[in-house]
Amino acid sequence: MELFTLGIGHYTETDVKESARALTGWTVDDDQFQFSAARHDEGDKMILGQEGAFTGDQLVELLLNQPATAKRLGWRICQTFFGENVVGEAELSQLAEGLTSHRLDTNWALKTVLHSELFFSEKNFRSRVMGPVEWIVGSLRALEQCDPPASTLGLADWSERMGQDLFYPPNVGGWNGGRSWLASRTIIARANYAHALAEGKLWHPAQPPSFEALAEKHNPSGRFEAHITWFAKLLLGQASPSFVNEILTAAKDAPPEERLSTAIACLLAHPQSHLG
C-alpha cells in the first residue's frame, strides 16, 4: 500500500492488518505462486471503509479502484518524465482522472504525457538531474560512440560509482533520484567517467574515440572553434562565445590529436551537462 498503490496517508494500520488477513493462503512453492485454501482466513474484513470476505484477488481489485492509486501512479509517471516544478496539481489530477477512466492503462498515460505540450515546453528542458544510466547512455548516443559499443559491464560499473547499482536499489522504494543523484562521490565519478570516455577507456581494448568525424559531419571543414561550439550546444544546450573561449583555453595545452576529446571531456564534466 505504501509504495505501490495508495501511498502513505491513505490507509491505516488497521487496513494493513485486515489486508494481511485477505492475503492469507498466498504462498510461493517451488518458484510458483500457490493458493492454499486451507490457510485462507475466510472471515469478514474491513478494509478502506468497505466490508466483505475479501480474498487476495479482491483486495488487489479494491486497491486498484482507489482514486489514491491512480493519483500515485500518475505522480510516479510525472516524476519520471517531468522536471522540477513543471507539473502542477491541476495537471496531475487530470492525469489521475484519465488513468481512472482508462483502467490504469499506463500505455495511455505515457502516450498522453509524451504527446503533451507540457512535455515539450521550455520549462521542461534541463529541469531535472539525469540519473546515471540515462546520462551515460545519453552521452554515448549523443556523441555517436555506440559502434563499436563500449563495454556494458564497464558502463554498469560506472553507473554504480555514480550511485545507481543496476538491479540493486538501496531499498524496496528504489532510488530517490532527482537532486539526490549529485553527491560528492557521484559527481567525481561523473567527472572521472568523462575523462575515461575521452581517453577511450570505456572500450575493451581501449581506443581513443574519434570525434573528428562527427565534428566534420556537422561542420564540414569548420575551424576548431566551430566544432567546440557545436559540441557545447549538443551537450549543454547552448554556447556563448566567452564560454567557448574558456574551453579553447582548457584544451589548448593538450596534444593536438587530443584537443577535441579534452574539450568534450570538459563539457561532460560541466554542471549543465547533468541536466536533462
Q: How far is the CB of 248 from another protein (least distance, A)?
A: 9
Residue 196 near another protein by CB under 8 A: yes
Residue with cell 509524451: 114
The x, y and z cell numbers of residue 121, run together, are: 515546453
**Dist. CA 24–CA 160, nearest whole Å:** 38
Residue 174 near another protein by CB under 8 A: no
Residue 270 near another protein by CB under 8 A: yes
CB neighbour list of residue 18: distance below 8 Å, 6 or more residues apart:
45, 46, 47, 54
**Dist. CA 235–CA 227, nearest whole Å:** 12
CB 215 within 8 A of CB 260: yes
CB neighbour list of residue 48: distance below 8 Å, 6 or more residues apart:
11, 15, 62, 66
Residue 269 near another protein by CB under 8 A: yes
Q: x-or-dash pattern for another protein, window 108-137, by CB under 8 A?
A: ------------------xxxx--------
Residue 241 near another protein by CB under 8 A: no
Q: How far is the CB of 157 from another protein (least distance, A)?
A: 13
Size of the site for another protein (CB under 8 A): 58
* Choice from 180, 212, 218, 233 touching another protein (CB under 8 A): 180
- In our burial notation (b when 16+ CB lie closer than 10 A, e otherwise), range 206-240 reads eeebebeebbeeebeeeebeebbbbbbeebbeebe
Q: How far is the CB of 202 from another protein (least distance, A)?
A: 13
Residue 191 near another protein by CB under 8 A: yes
Helix (H, G, I), strand (E, B) or coil at 186: helix
Q: How far is the CB of 128 from another protein (least distance, A)?
A: 8
- Interface residues toward another protein, by CB under 8 A: 2, 8-9, 13, 83-84, 126-129, 160-161, 163, 165, 170-171, 173, 175-176, 179-180, 182-189, 191-192, 194-196, 198, 236-240, 242-243, 246-247, 249-251, 253-254, 262, 265-266, 269-272, 274-275
